[in-house]
Every structure is written in structure tokens, then in C-alpha cells.
Amino acid sequence: MKFQLFLASLFSHIKGRHWWLGIVIWIALVAPAQASVILRVAIERDVKQVKVGSSTTAVVKDSSGRTLGQLPGMSAYYAQAVPGGVALDKWQSNLFWVEPTGKGFVYIGDRWYRGRTLVVPSEKGLSVVNWVDLEEYLYSVIGGEMDSGWPLEALKAQAIAARTYALYEREKQRNNPIYDLGDTPDRWQIYQGVNSESRTTLAAVDATAGKVLTYRNRIILSVFHACSGGHTENSEDVWGSREPYLRAVPDFDQNISECNWIRTFSPTEISAQIPEIGNVKQMIPESTSPFGSVTSLKIVGDKGQKVLRGEDVRTALKLKSTRFNVSNGNGSFTLRGLGYGHALGMSQWGAYNLAKRGYNHLQILNYYYKGVALAPIQVKK
């Protein structure tokens, strides 16, 4: 296969910090000015290859903005990391844009997305980033984060919370030359492309278009979770830092089956997660929040002990929540808990139940985020 080499000599001289500067320059060269709010969502990061394509004929551009040719619609091609850049079909360049014609969707990995695709080299291979309008991004996120059959007022509350969170992350990542956020719930929001869109998610986003939550004129960290198990938490009891708008409130998500859980661990299973303490002998909740969540958990083994604090209590053992009690019997440890998630901000099941009771989306948001205001952003539809 013959490859066209564009800016190869420039790429070879850009190392370390300057390499990232080069990427910024290339993106700036080929990214036209946008009046709408565009999000850069990393769909794949640091992989060797990934399939890309388009539902309609797609224009392929290189790092200088030059049109290399077209990819036929409804066909997928492997983008691959190669020495000196990225290869796509018969081309090689420092980066590629894949831009569908008409109202086409782009294909990345195994899903369809709105917007366009940037394929760019990364330190460990390549990354594929979906450049998508904020409101169109939310069409998918709402369906990923909530059941699209839930009451519209709950979906509208989720739309505003998700929009606010996305812009908060976008600002937080302003020095990242490649992406603003990813597509997974471990750190960001669930983004599954057009597959999770529906009539109701579009309606919820359109009805709240451009609206965000602010506290003292600054966009808030509008985190949310599936359910708290009866009471949300104060941010300092989970993350150690106090946010005035993330205050604990009684919740409306009791008696939800997924929010009542039991996990049984053998000592070997716990030791596999925390090997430095040896064989586990005890699990002792040392402190709890005012609302019953474990804020400090001591795990004692025959080689030492480890104290987990805050959110580490949940993540280290892959628990649904930190609201649990511990019992020890037959050589194993049984944890019985309530809630699903970090219990900060809006409870999604709580929003569902409040909407069922007739509360609107603004009332729901004002209940879970204290002292906030609803503010507009300028978004071109």
C-alpha cells in the first residue's frame, strides 16, 4: 500500500510537550470557527486501531486541512497508529478528519454518532474523538443516564444537570489539546451515540436548550447518581471538599430494588484487591457520615492494615455505595447496603419519584442542588 506523507518531517521533530503543541496547531488549522458549543468527546483513547466510517459519503481531510478524498457511505475502515502518525485506508497523515456529507452520522468502533470524527495520534497509539454539538451530545446522554420512558420532568432535570456537568468538565479540560471528556460513567457521562436517543430524550433536551445551573455566577459541578438509599450526602463527607450547593437532603428513592444490595467477600477476594495487607481478618467501619454512609473503613490483615476513606471505600471494593453494614460469619464478610453511586447531588430515582408526584424539573433541581440559579448559555440550534 502506498502512503502519502504530509508534514512527516515536522512531526518527527515534535517531542514531549512540543508534540502536544503541534497537535493543537494542526487542529486549529483545520477546525473552522463554530458559533455553537462543540464538545470533543473521546470515544477511543490510546488504542492501536479502530474502525471509523460514515452513513453518507464522508470527506477525509489531513492535518493541513487538505481534502484527501472520500470514504463511501455505510463502509468502515480501520484507522491505525503507524510510525509518524495515523493511517486510514490508502492515506497516512499526522491526523485525519472524517466529515459526513448531508445529515450523515459517523461510525466509531461499533456505534453511530452525530457530528464528525477526529483521528489523532496519542502517546500510546491513537485516539478517536467525536466533535459534536453540545445539545446533540445530550440527546444521547439523557437516554444513557435515564430510562427514556421516565416522566418528562425527570428527563428535563437530567438534561440540565448533564449539560451543566459537560460544560464544567469542558472548562476543567481546557488545557487538554485532544478532548474535553470521555464517554464512560466512571468519570464522565454515559454517551452511546444515536443508539440511546429517542423522541423523549430529544424533547427533554430541546425544552431546556442552553440552560445550566450556576452558583454565584459560576457553573456548578452538577454530579448525580442512581439512588442514595434514603438520604444524599454532603460533599465533604465523600470527597473531602465542601461545595455549598452539594448539601445532604432526605431522598425519595427508597424501595428501589437496584438500590438494595448485598455483597459477600471471602478474605481471598479482599486480599486480591488490597494485597499488601495479606490475609484479611477484619473489616471495621471506623466512622460514618451523619446519614449512615461509611466514611472510614479499616481492613486488617495478617501483614498489616489499610484504612479506606471517602469515595475510596466504594471504589476499592467495587461496591454500589458506601451506605452499608458489615457482618462476619463462616470466614466471609457480608455487606448489606443501600444506594447506588456516590450519593451527591441529584438522585435519578429520586427525580423519577418526585416527577411522578407532580414536581417539575426546576423544583427537582432546586431540591438537590442548594442555592443554585438557572442561567442561559448561547447555543446555536
pLDDT tens track for 105-159: 999 999 999 999 999 999 889 999 999 999 999 999 999 999 999 999 999 999 9
275-288: burial string, b at 16+ Cβ within 10 Å, e else: eebeebeebebeeb
Angle at 273 between CA 268 and CA 274, to 5 degrees: 90
Task: State the pLDDT at residue 15.
Answer: 37
Tell me if 250 is assigned to some domain. Answer: no
The domain of 310 spans 257-338
CA–CA distances in Å: residue 84 to residues 35, 45, 52, 65, 89: 33, 18, 20, 18, 16
Instruction: Note whether residue 246 is domain-resident.
Output: no
Residue 299 and residue 350 share a domain: no
Residues 293 and 354 in one domain: no
| pTM assigned to the model | 0.88
Same domain, 235 and 354: yes
150-184 burial by CB neighbour count: b if 16+ within 10 A, else e? bbebbbbbbbbbbbbbbbbbbeebeeebbbbbbbe
Provide the b/e sequence for 227-245 (b: ≥16 CB within 10 Å): bbbbbbbbbebbbeeebeb
Q: Are residues 221 and 358 in the same domain?
A: yes
Domain boundary among 80, 104, 133: 133
Give pLDDT, residue 9. Answer: 31
The answer to whether 119 touches 98, Cβ cutoff 8 Å, is yes
The residue written with cell numbers 459519503 in the block is 57
Question: 311 with 213, same domain?
Answer: no
Do 332 and 358 fall into the same domain? no
Residue 249 lies in a domain: no
Q: Residue 299 domain-assigned? A: yes
User: Which grid coordinates are listed for 82?
Assistant: 503507524
Output the pLDDT for position 378: 54
Indicate whether 150 and 99 sit together in one domain.
no
Same domain, 53 and 126: yes
* Residue 381 maps to a domain: no
Count of the separate structural domains present in the chain: 3
Q: What is the pLDDT along the chain (381 residues), one digit of tens a residue?
A: 222 222 233 233 333 433 333 433 334 434 443 448 999 999 999 999 999 999 999 999 998 899 999 999 999 999 999 998 999 999 999 999 999 999 999 999 999 999 999 999 998 899 999 999 999 999 999 999 999 999 999 999 999 999 999 999 999 999 999 999 999 988 899 999 999 999 999 999 999 999 999 999 999 999 999 999 999 999 999 999 999 999 999 999 988 998 999 999 999 999 998 999 999 999 999 999 999 999 999 999 999 999 999 889 999 999 999 999 999 988 899 999 999 999 999 999 999 999 999 999 999 999 999 999 999 985 444
Supply the pLDDT for residue 26.
39
170 in the same domain as 109? no
| Domain presence at residue 251 | no
Residue ending a domain, choose from 133, 159, 192: 133
Q: 265 and 234, same structural domain?
A: no
Over residues 283-292, the pLDDT tens digits come to 999 999 999 9
Of 87, 107, 133, the residue at which a domain comes to its end is 133
Asked whether residue 16 falls in the same domain as residue 53, the answer is yes
Residue 279 lies in a domain: yes
Residues 359 and 232 placed together within one structural domain of the fold: yes
User: What percent helix, strand, coil does the chain show, rounded to 5?
Assistant: 30, 35, 40
Asked whether residue 178 is domain-assigned, the answer is yes
